[in-house]
Amino acid sequence: MSILVDVNTPDSVPNHVESKDGNAAVSKRAVLTIEEIQKLLPHRYPFALVDRIIEYVPGERAVGIKNVTFNEPHFQGHFPDRPIMPGVLIVEAMAQVGGIVLTQIPGVPVGLFLFAGIDKVRFRRPVIPGDQLILTVELLSVKRRRFGKMQGRAEVDGLLVTEGELMFSIVE
Q: Which amino acid is at 159?
A: L
Among 123, 150, 168, 132, which Cα is nearest to 54's? 132
Active-site residue 74, yes or no? no
Q: DSSP state, 23?
A: -
- Helix or strand (DSSP H, E) at 88: helix 87-103
| Residue of 16, 43, 74, 78 with catalytic role | 78
Q: How far, in Å, CA of 149 to CA of 142, rounded?
A: 7
How many helices (H) and strands (E) would you count in the chain? 2, 8
Active-site residue set? 78
